[in-house]
Structure 1
Amino acid sequence: LIGACCGSTPAHIKAMGEALSSREPAPLPEQEGPLATRLASRSRAVTIGAEKLPVLIGERINPSARKAVAEALRQQNWGFITEEGALQLDAGALLLDLNTGLAGGDETQLLPEGIRQLQMSLDCPLVLDCTNPAALEKGLQEFQGKALINSVNGDKKSLNSILPLAKRYGAAVLGLTLNESGIPAKAEERLDIAKEIVEAAEYYGLPREDIIIDCLVLTAATSPELALETVRAIRLVKEHLGVNTVLGLSNVSHGLPQRSWLNAAFLSLALGAGLDAAIANPLDNRIRETMTAGALLTGRDFGARNYLEQAGRLVSPANSPINKDVDLDDPGQALQKAIFNGQQETVIPLVQKLLEKSDVLSVISEGIIPALETIGQHFARGEAYLPQLILAGDTAKKAFTYLKDNFPMPKTAQGGTVVIGTVKGDIHDIGKNIVSALLENHGFRVIDLGKSVPAEAFLEAARREKADVVALSALMTTTMVEMPQVIKLLRQELPGVKVIVGGAVVTAEYAQEIGADGYGADAVEAVQVVRGFSPALKS
């Protein structure tokens, strides 16, 4: 991909084209997995779909729904229009729907001018809410980026006039599941129209990822039973066509009081069916809250980061000791930051870079453990939450696994077998993972049973693996009571096996009370205690 900046000339661009005319363009890689619809302004891109957070599209610049907007368009009061756009972006909208279809107005003049005014003041992709081909073409010529055309439908006239414009100007299209006969009542019939729109768009050369389907919701005031047909249609479109979906959400509450109640409730249902974007009012708190919670509950908010951020409870990197004065050229500090923030994609390259100048144990003790200890401290103080704790643990586990797979300890160095796990009912394993990794790197053979391990499973593994030591971990007072049950069973069946306990709620006094052989206040102390059980590794 080549291009030129504002100081260039037509002659320069022509010369570049001629110089490269003999070269074949590199083939673009095909998308794998869920389709991603990518829209852009001058310098900002927004992705819809691909299992990312559902996108909120601001609906408020619409003269048919708001008299103030109609008057502003009539008076060419673009300051009001851009302020409306700014308010929506500040409230969380990522795209703005622009409708200039003013009764008695000239849309061929209003749409391009509205685009010009908005993109001078605001930097976001636009949804061009217009079905007039002449106005659309002028608007697409004006827009600097990749727009979404709202809309095309199953009527042949609409398909043949709008789709060529989308192809010519590189826009994506929003397809409405209606045709010359209106909006079908049944979800299967809406799916049929969606198929026709997708086939026509592909015929005109649009890639499938640039097609978004709106299954259309009617007002619950007249047809409340049809709301669930829309939800079902979304599910069918996702299942059979794989394209991304959007809804003009506010239609469901048209003509009814307390519209926010219905809009938020219906949004929740639609998100559960696979909705990727909603055209709605970003200034409505219920809508924003439902988008945030719905993204988490439908598995689109990895590590609950967006939910915690919107709730004001996400630990900021600036507030973390491991991120203070971080030198990103220092891979040790960068690794700590990546683990703390759950950035799994960067962990392995950072570990590899650290290994260029450090040994495995140093990577663990200087890069991995400090981050886990810090996130654990935040969690204990109520400054971090369980999703962050789990995500950091999973990220550290990825680093541990890489080290274990690529730098195994020689068998001659092994000095005993340790069976380790968190006790029944406890799903927290960060501390256990640290102890496990350190034991392996001190020459022990470690059998990690994972989380929420019943007493019988500890016994079975200890017997099968001929364990020298069983290590029990618990983070909660409600689960630490499982420890004496495990110890009692081991004493009855395998009296020669040593038992060590640890975890955030466990104390040395409690360890002694339940008959444990040892207690580790932290990972380093736990390893020292286990080494004490094994004379061969005391030196």
Structure 2
Amino acid sequence: MADPGSQDPRVPGKAGPSPRLAEMERALLSVDRVTAGRIVKDTCSAGTPFRCLETLVVPALEEVGRRWERGEVALSQIYMSGRICEEIVDTMLPPGDPRRVNQPPMAIVVLEDHHTLGKRIVLSALRAGGYEVTDYGSGLTVDQLVERTVRGKISILLISTLMLPAALRAREAIARIKKELPGIKVIVGGAPFNFDPQLWKEVGADAMGRTASDALEIVGTFTAGAR
């Protein structure tokens, strides 16, 4: 049953995005914070933030991601769209809000190198989706990643790598982490995994995301029922 406190921007019985959703997408691609914020304010009830995220903010962000995959928008537009949505969500669910904190502990990291753009885009997308994610930063060694993940009792870990040697060393990190935290879900991403579609399985990960939209969808699957 629809929540009367929040208008669903999808049109019942019709395929494709509603005008409101399309308007949100245009605002993000135009880097128009004011319009994006107004759309959310006009469409969503303050008492139903996750419904708003699920039916407006996240679908708009995912469509921007799909357009980037098709070569229709620039990487900078992806990044700024995520940042705008992150800012909007922070007004709806401030960091530390119980509805954010009451989620499986999540963390994201770049293993062994310092190329962080991909991680920053994924992190913005996840935070824009209402998730609380700990940023472990970049350049961590296998030992450092294992220690921090186990100490933090992380339930979902996202690992990004740029070079193949780091991707291969993720196998050791994942094996050691899963030995200590058997229930953890590990998502990997980055160039080596894009080049070899089977590599994520070989390193023992639970899933692989090519884009921020993929990561958002996978995390949503792993956290289903937690909200």
Could you state the TM-score of these two structures normalised by the residue count of structure 2?
Answer: 0.65
Larger RCO, structure (CA 8 Å, separation 6 or more): 2
* Structure-to-structure mapping, 1:79-98, within 5 angstroms: none
Aligned match of 2:3 = none
User: How far apart are 1:488 and its partner, in Å?
Assistant: 1.7
Count how many residue pairs are aligned between Structure 1 and Structure 2.
Answer: 199
User: How far apart are 1:514 and its partner, in Å?
Assistant: 1.0
Aligned match of 1:382 = 71
Do structure 1's residue 418 and structure 2's residue 102 form an aligned pair? no
Give the unaligned 5+ runs of structure 1: 1-323, 532-536
Do structure 1's residue 335 and structure 2's residue 21 form an aligned pair? no
Deviations 1:368-416 (A, max 9, x none): 22332233233333332232222222222222322331892348x8253
Deviations 1:464-502 (A, max 9, x none): 42323322246xxx4465344244235346732324224
Aligned match of 2:4 = none
Deviations 1:201-244 (A, max 9, x none): xxxxxxxxxxxxxxxxxxxxxxxxxxxxxxxxxxxxxxxxxxxx
Give the Cα separation in 2 of the matches to 1:518 and 1:325: 28
Do structure 1's residue 434 and structure 2's residue 125 form an aligned pair? yes
Aligned match of 2:187 = 501
Residues 369 and 325 (structure 1 numbering): CA distance in 2 closer, same or farther, change over 3 Å? closer
8 Å Cα contact 1:420/1:471 also seen in 2:
yes
Residues 431 and 408 (structure 1 numbering): CA distance in 2 closer, same or farther, change over 3 Å? same
User: How far apart are 1:510 and its partner, in Å?
Assistant: 2.2
Report the secondary structure of 1:364's partner residue: helix
Residues 446 and 386 (structure 1 numbering): CA distance in 2 closer, same or farther, change over 3 Å? closer
Give the Cα separation in 1 of the matches to 2:63 and 2:206: 28
Residues 386 and 415 (structure 1 numbering): CA distance in 2 closer, same or farther, change over 3 Å? closer
* Structure-to-structure mapping, 1:332-371, within 5 angstroms: 332-356=21-45, 359-371=48-60
AA matched with 1:404? L
8 Å Cα contact 1:420/1:470 also seen in 2:
yes
Decide which of 166, 169, 181 is 1:482's aligned counterpart.
166
Task: Point out the structure with max Rg over C-alpha.
Answer: 1
Residues 449 and 503 (structure 1 numbering): CA distance in 2 closer, same or farther, change over 3 Å? same
Deviations 1:285-308 (A, max 9, x none): xxxxxxxxxxxxxxxxxxxxxxxx
Report the secondary structure of 2:94's partner residue: helix
AA matched with 2:53? I
Aligned match of 1:525 = 218
Give the Cα separation in 2 of the matches to 1:400 and 1:422: 24
User: How far apart are 1:512 and its partner, in Å?
Assistant: 1.0
Give the Cα separation in 1 of the matches to 2:165 and 2:127: 22
Residues 503 and 486 (structure 1 numbering): CA distance in 2 closer, same or farther, change over 3 Å? closer
Report the secondary structure of 1:447's partner residue: strand
Deviations 1:334-366 (A, max 9, x none): 332212221123333332222238822232222
AA matched with 2:84? T
Give the Cα separation in 1 of the matches to 2:198 and 2:18: 39
Do structure 1's residue 468 and structure 2's residue 135 form an aligned pair? no
Aligned match of 1:512 = 201
Give the Cα separation in 2 of the matches to 1:326 and 1:502: 33
Give the Cα separation in 1 of the matches to 2:128 and 2:69: 22
Deviations 1:313-347 (A, max 9, x none): xxxxxxxxxxx9974xx3x4433221222112333
Report the secondary structure of 2:159's partner residue: strand
AA matched with 1:472? I
AA matched with 2:124? N
Residues 514 and 348 (structure 1 numbering): CA distance in 2 closer, same or farther, change over 3 Å? same
8 Å Cα contact 2:58/2:128 also seen in 1:
no
Give the Cα separation in 1 of the matches to 2:92 and 2:128: 9
Give the Cα separation in 2 of the matches to 1:504 and 1:489: 16
AA matched with 1:419? A
Could you state the TM-score of these two structures normalised by the residue count of structure 1?
Answer: 0.31
Pairwise CA RMSD of aligned residues?
3.8
* Structure-to-structure mapping, 1:194-213, within 5 angstroms: none
Give the Cα separation in 2 of the matches to 1:538 and 1:347: 27
Residues 439 and 501 (structure 1 numbering): CA distance in 2 closer, same or farther, change over 3 Å? farther
* Structure-to-structure mapping, 1:298-313, within 5 angstroms: none
Among all aligned residue pairs of Structure 1 and Structure 2, give the percentage whose two residues are the same amino acid: 16
AA matched with 2:220? V
Report the secondary structure of 1:470's partner residue: strand
Give the Cα separation in 2 of the matches to 1:538 and 1:357: 20
Residues 435 and 397 (structure 1 numbering): CA distance in 2 closer, same or farther, change over 3 Å? closer
AA matched with 2:27? A
Give the Cα separation in 2 of the matches to 1:396 and 1:437: 5
Give the unaligned 5+ runs of structure 2: 1-15
Report the secondary structure of 1:471's partner residue: strand
AA matched with 1:515? G
8 Å Cα contact 2:110/2:140 also seen in 1:
no
Residues 465 and 439 (structure 1 numbering): CA distance in 2 closer, same or farther, change over 3 Å? farther
AA matched with 1:489? A
Aligned match of 1:172 = none
Give the Cα separation in 2 of the matches to 1:480 and 1:361: 37
Give the Cα separation in 2 of the matches to 1:473 and 1:376: 18
Give the Cα separation in 1 of the matches to 2:204 and 2:92: 35
